[in-house]
Amino acid sequence: MYKYISFTKTINAMIIILKELIPTEKQNVVKILNQLLQGQYMGIHSYEEFIKNLDDSSPLCNRFVTIQKDLKHHADLLSERIQELHGTPETSEGVIGKIELFISQIFDQSKTEKEILKHAIKGENLYGIKMTEKLVRDKLDEKSLNLVQTVLDKQREHVDYLKSELH
């Protein structure tokens, strides 16, 4: 009888340890949402650089300010959802994001409006839309997926607008 109780306690202790080691579905969703949040911060900082390089009187400058506001709003929505899931939202683009932004500032110094537009389209398409779609594929709960879909729809609108300005 004593061996049985000891064995049961050992098994229960192992189950508790395993539960702590294996991330729950909620923790996985929080992790993905935080990665998306870091992407929004990258976008916010990228548009900050684009805006600095545009003439204040440019209609494109005003539109970029609007897009940046959208990204900030998306960041707020993602942060709220992360908190609803009892997670802690990221507060920056992270180390990798900072490195990517730094490298981009060195090698992708856009001078003309057309170059800036092309760079913004590339960023929205590659980092905004495609990376998000890849990251969330079959990995989110319905509420989080609906939120991400709303963000993606707005990013597609941004790309459509930017492409229309390119021509």
Domain assignment of residue 76, yes or no: yes
Residue with tokens 């949040």: 37
Domain assignment of residue 30, yes or no: yes
Query: How far, in Å, CA of 161 to CA of 76, rounded?
Result: 23
In tens, the pLDDT along 20-40 reads 655 688 889 999 999 999 999
Domain assignment of residue 5, yes or no: no
Model-wide pTM > 0.85: no
In tens, the pLDDT along 125-163 reads 988 899 899 888 878 999 999 999 999 999 999 999 999
Residue-range definition of the domain harbouring residue 35 = 24-166
Domain assignment of residue 9, yes or no: no
How many independent structural domains does the chain possess? 1
Domain assignment of residue 89, yes or no: yes
Query: How far, in Å, CA of 136 to CA of 139, rounded?
Result: 5
